[in-house]
Amino acid sequence: MAKKKPCDFCADEYFGEPDVLPNAHVYFERYPDNGTMCLTVFSFSDDHEQNAEESYQIPFEYCPQCGRKLGWM
């Protein structure tokens, strides 16, 4: 069986520009070779001082767009 060709979503790592909300910055990153997506949120007080950071790693074995198996092979 031939390996499936990567689509735009799973071809390369992605480091997104932040979505800027009134008191937060939200980053989305994906690492298809490691099978991980990461969502990071930085929150800021009203005087623009960072007061919290939360990061969530979301494992995924298959590309959600094309269905290709991910990870080192």
Q: Which two tokens stand for residue 20?
A: 């800027």
Q: Hey, is 14 helix, strand or coil?
A: strand
pLDDT of 9 above 60: yes
How do residues 48-64 score in pLDDT, each as one tens digit?
888 999 999 999 888 88
pTM higher than 0.85: no
Res 27: pLDDT: 92
What is the SS3 assignment for 15-73? ECCCEEECCEEEEEEEECCCCEEEEEEEEECCCCCEEEEEEEEEECCECCCCCCECCCC
pLDDT of 73 above 60: no
Stretch 14-35: mean pLDDT: 86
